[in-house]
Amino acid sequence: MSNDTQRADQIAFHFYTKLFYVLNHARATAEPGPNAKVDKWFILETPHSDLFPRESRDRYKSISTSLSASASNSSSSLSSPSSSFSSSTGVPPLEIQVLLTIPDLNTNQVLVYLPDSSSSTSTRNRVQPTPKHVLLEKWVLEFTPRNATHRTRDRDRDGREGAEEASGPAGSSVALSTIYKHGIPLFRSLFSLLRILPAWKVAKRLKRRGLGGGPANGMSVMLRVADPTSAGGPGQQDILGFGPSSSQSDASHYQTQVSQTLTLPTSTHAFPPVPHPLGTLTLTSTYLSNPNFD
C-alpha cells in the first residue's frame, strides 16, 4: 500500500469519526467528561467521544483494503442476498441515529405527540404502545467507489491538467489536499444545520432542565450507530422509527401499530458529495419535522 493510499484512507476515516463527534456534541444531553480530548480535524474543534463503538469505527480505518477485499470476494463467490449493505462497495454506510430516550412510565403516565407545539389548540396524540426510544434523526455517510468507466472518463476529461495535479493513489486525479478542503465546508455546514433543525431545541431543552436540577420528564437524547450487518440489533424493536424504507434499521413493530392513528412527518437534507481518490463520500439526513413529545 502506497503512502498516498494510506493518507487517503486516514482522511476518509476522519470523515466518519468527525461526523459522530459533531452529532454527539450537538445532540447528546450527556455532557462530555472534563478530561475529554478535543478533535481538531477539518478546522473545527469538537469534544472527542468514546461512545463511537470501536468495532464500528474500525470498519472505516482502511477504505482501500475494504474495496480490495470486496473485489476479491466478488470474483470468487456470489454475495449473500441477506446482506444489509451492498457488497459491491465493500464499505458499509455509517448510519448514526439520534434517539429520544423514553423513561419507564407509571400506570397513570402516557407518552404524547404534539404535531404543533406552538399552538395551544394542537391535538395531543397518545403514542401507544410506549417505545423505549423515538428516532429523531438519521444521518448516513456513504462511500460510493469509482468504477473503471468513471476513472477512464476522468482521465480523458482532465487531460494534461489532471496529470499535473498532485494526485492521490494511482489512477485518480483527486488530490489528497482536495479531500480535506472539501471536508472543511462540509462540517461547518453540518455544525450550523444541526443548530437550526427541530431536534436542536429538544436537546437543548432537556439538557438545560437536567443541568438546572429541574424535571426533564426523565427523557434524554443519545446517539446510536446502526449495525450495517443486521436489520435489527439488540433493542431495535424498542425504537419508534420512520417506518418502512430502503433501510430496515429504522423500522420496528411500534411503527406498524402507531402509524395506524399517528403520522410523524419527516424531512430530508443532502450535502454535496465529497470527492475521494477511490470514489465519493455523501452525507444525507432524514429527520422528524416536528419532534414534539411529552
pLDDT digits (tens, 9 = 90+) for 86-110: 445 689 999 999 999 998 888 888 8
The answer to which of 7-11, 77-81, 105-109, 178-182 has the lowest mean pLDDT is 77-81
pLDDT on residue 210:
63
pLDDT on residue 70:
64
Residue 245 pLDDT class (50, 70, 90 cuts): very low
For residue 243, is pLDDT > 70? no
What's the rounded mean pLDDT across residues 54-63? 93
pLDDT on residue 47:
94
Structural domains of the chain, with CATH: 3-68+89-148+175-245+260-288 (3.30.900.10)
pLDDT tens track for 191-218: 999 999 999 999 999 988 765 444 456 8
Q: How far is CA 35 from CA 27, 32, 50, 64, in A?
A: 20, 8, 12, 34
Q: Cell digits for 170? A: 494511482
Among 139, 252, 270, smallest CA distance to 199 is for: 139
The answer to which of 98-102, 172-176, 248-252 has the lowest mean pLDDT is 248-252
What's the rounded mean pLDDT across residues 213-234? 71
pLDDT on residue 72:
60
- Residue-wise burial string across 206-234, b where 16 or more C-beta atoms lie within 10 A, e elsewhere: bbeebeeeeebeebbbbbbbbbbeeebee
What's the rounded mean pLDDT across residues 12-29? 96
What's the rounded mean pLDDT across residues 247-273? 67
